[in-house]
Structure 1
Amino acid sequence: MKTIFVDGYNVINSWGELKKIKNGINLESAREKLIEILIDYSEFKGYKIFLVFDGHLIQGNFGEKTKVTKNLIVVYTKEAETADSFIEKYVNRIGRKYEVCVVTSDNLEQQIVFQRGSTRMSSIEFYNEVINVKVKISSKAQKIASEKKYNRIEDRLDTSIYEKLDKIRKNDKNS
Structure 2
Amino acid sequence: MDILLVDGYNIIGDWPELKVLKNKDLAAARDRLIEKMAEYQAYSGYRVIVVFDAQFVKGNAKKMKNSKVEVLFTKTNETADERIEKLAISLNNRKTQIHVATSDYTEQWAIFGQGALRKSARELLNEMESVEKRIESKVKKIQERKPASKIPLSNEVAEIFEKWRRGK
Fold match (TM-score > 0.5): yes
The alpha carbon displacement at 1:92 in A equals 1.1
The alpha carbon displacement at 1:95 in A equals 2.7
Name the counterpart of 1:14. 14
Q: Which amino acid aligns with 1:92?
A: I
The alpha carbon displacement at 1:93 in A equals 1.7
Larger radius of gyration: 1
Matches within 5 A, 1:156-171: none
Name the counterpart of 1:36. 35
What is the percentage of aligned positions where both structures have the same residue? 39
Say which of 98, 101, 121 aligns to 1:100: 98
Secondary structure at the aligned position of 1:154 is classed as coil
Label 1:80 to 1:141 Cα distance change in 2 as closer, same or farther (>3 A): same
The alpha carbon displacement at 1:144 in A equals 0.8
- Structure 1's consecutive aligned runs of 4 or more residues displaced over 4 angstroms after TM superposition are 56-59
Aligned residues: 153
Name the counterpart of 1:139. 137
- 5+ residue gaps, structure 2, are 155-168
**Which deviations, in whole Å up to 9, do the C-alpha atoms of 1:125-151 show, x marking residues without a partner?**
100000000000000000111112236
Secondary structure at the aligned position of 2:13 is classed as helix
- 5+ residue gaps, structure 1, are 160-175
Q: Which amino acid aligns with 1:85?
A: E
Q: Is 1:111 the counterpart of 2:109 in the alignment?
A: yes
Label 1:92 to 1:139 Cα distance change in 2 as closer, same or farther (>3 A): same
Name the counterpart of 2:48. 49
The alpha carbon displacement at 1:116 in A equals 0.5
**Which deviations, in whole Å up to 9, do the C-alpha atoms of 1:94-137 show, x marking residues without a partner?**
23431110000011110111110110010011000000000000
Distance 1:40 1:46 in 2: 10
Q: Which amino acid aligns with 2:39?
A: D
The TM-score with structure 2 as length reference comes to 0.85
RMSD between superposed Cα atoms in Å: 1.7
Say which of 59, 73, 76 aligns to 1:76: 73
Question: 116-125 vs 48-57, which deviates more?
Answer: 48-57
Q: Which amino acid aligns with 1:36?
A: E
Name the counterpart of 2:60. 62
The TM-score with structure 1 as length reference comes to 0.82
